[in-house]
Amino acid sequence: LMTNEWTDGLGSTIIRTANNNTSDDKQYITFDGPIDAIWIENMNTVLDDNRTLCLPNGERIKLDGATLRMIFEVEDCAVASP
């Protein structure tokens, strides 16, 4: 049944969980796979100085810049734009 209600996917669930961790330990989220131009465009606000994940439902998750880092491991950047 499609209700068009937002539910967190894998990425937003992992990011939300890591961001809510109150430990002072460094945390790294690794994305491993090909870069898709549309997918990476949605990550722009996370990757810039704002460090804010903007979800399609309008929710914004401000990431903890002191403890949370993201790593993108890709084979190549053939479809990525500068």
Q: What angle do CA 72, 75, 78 make, to 5 degrees?
A: 100
Measured CA to CA, the distance from residue 54 to residue 42 in angstroms comes to 8
Which pLDDT does position 30 carry in this prediction? 93
Element at 31 (helix H, strand E)? strand 27-32
Which pLDDT does position 1 carry in this prediction? 57
Contacts of 63 (CB under 8 A, 6+ apart): 15, 19, 46, 51, 52, 53
Which pLDDT does position 27 carry in this prediction? 94
Which pLDDT does position 37 carry in this prediction? 74
Place of tokens 């053939």: 78
For 36, the token pair is: 């898709």
Query: DSSP label at 68?
Result: E
pLDDT tens for the chain, residues 1 to 82: 577 788 888 988 999 999 999 999 999 999 888 877 777 777 777 878 888 888 888 888 899 889 999 888 888 777 766 6
